[in-house]
Amino acid sequence: MAQAQPLQGISIPRYESRSGTASSYIVYAVVIQLPVRSWTVYRRYSEFVRLDKNLAASPNGPAATGSGEPGGAGRPPPRTLPPRERAREWKKTFSGFLSFASGDQSGDGFDDEVWLKERMQSLETYLKAIVMDEDAGWRESEAFKMFIEWPMSIRMVTATASSSTASPRVPRVTAAQRTPGSMPGALPPGTRTLGAPAPAAPRPPAEETDSTRPLNNTQLFQSQTDAMDQQDEQLLNLAAILRRQRQMGEAINQELGEQTELLSQLDSEVEGTQAKLSKADQKMDHFDGGKAKRKVGIGRKF
């Protein structure tokens, strides 16, 4: 059985203008969101047209179609693409005619940025219709997986499909059960009981980095394992440094203890010597009546 990965969302949040050899063109950023990673692919409108054509082709791939294109679902997608470039040119011509007829020459009356945003939203709706449809033939086709750079060996599971197959069915609650007054002691909706924790804020989705974007699931798992091993090694080195610093601190403490003991012994010896000198001074005073001390000017105490 093929490995399955849940697809949490697909969106087109922005578009970019790029320069080619002959002229500039517009690309649309298609963001594919998984529970632990996401990536972005950039597609032109012509690539959307090719996808739409390939999805309607045979699912057997190049061997059946003979065109070298990836296999599709054998039927048109559930939603049509937005119109081509010529529709915009017709609108610009028509708006220019209205401006000329009304005498307003301030502009052509058609905003390219508004048109691009509308096309971007229509393309996003087109992709979401393929992903969220109950029929998995379109999103499981080679054409769609190649379009969003999805690994061919991994089966795509949407949030709706995974919740309906993995989670048990919740019994339906009637209107009487939902009414707060029908249950004795029921609290109004939104009331939080005393001591109950506040609802947690939703976590932002994980963002893909430049280093992890080109990796598949196996390579991503291996890179995370290597990063954790490197962190473990750094923690071991830090623990060794802390042990050495502890040993140095204990050695310094022992040395200070020994120096303190030597200073205490020296202080005791100095006190003993001072006591002996005091006794000798007293004997000299008793022997000559203090004449020798007055002669040399020696005090009674040092």
Phi, psi of 149 (to 5 degrees): 60, 45
Q: How far is CA 189 from the centre of its chain?
A: 34
Q: Compute the distance between CA of residue 7 and CA of residue 10 in angstroms, rounded to an integer.
A: 8
Predicted local confidence at residue 173, as pLDDT = 45
Predicted local confidence at residue 41, as pLDDT = 95
Q: Which CATH architecture best describes the domain 3-165?
A: 2-Layer Sandwich (3.30)
Predicted local confidence at residue 252, as pLDDT = 93
Q: Tens of pLDDT along the chain (302 residues)?
A: 567 788 888 999 999 999 878 788 999 999 999 888 899 999 999 999 999 999 888 777 554 445 567 777 788 888 999 887 655 554 555 555 455 455 555 544 457 888 899 999 999 999 999 999 888 888 888 889 899 998 888 888 876 555 554 444 444 444 444 444 444 444 555 554 444 556 666 666 666 676 777 777 777 777 778 888 888 888 888 989 999 899 999 989 988 988 888 998 898 889 889 888 988 888 877 777 766 666 655 555 44
Whether the CB-CB separation of 77 and 56 falls below 8 Å is answered with yes
Domain boundaries, the chain: 3-165, 228-302
Q: Compute the distance between CA of residue 236 and CA of residue 219 in angstroms, rounded to an integer.
A: 26
Q: Is the pTM of this model over 0.75?
A: no
Q: Compute the distance between CA of residue 124 and CA of residue 121 in angstroms, rounded to an integer.
A: 5
The token pair at 288 is 């000559």
Predicted local confidence at residue 166, as pLDDT = 46
Among 167, 188, 193, which residue's Cα sits nearest to residue 178? 188
Among 283, 268, 274, which residue's Cα sits nearest to residue 301? 274
| Cα-Cα-Cα-Cα dihedral sign, residues 59, 63, 66, 70 | positive
Phi, psi of 30 (to 5 degrees): -100, 115
Q: Compute the distance between CA of residue 117 and CA of residue 124 in angstroms, rounded to an integer.
A: 11
Q: Write out pLDDT tens, residues 188-237.
A: 555 544 445 566 666 666 666 767 777 777 777 777 788 888 888 888 88
Burial class for 146, CB neighbours closer than 10 Å (0-12, 13-18, 19+): middle
Predicted local confidence at residue 171, as pLDDT = 47
Q: Compute the distance between CA of residue 178 and CA of residue 157 in angstroms, rounded to an integer.
A: 32
Whether the CB-CB separation of 56 and 74 falls below 8 Å is answered with yes
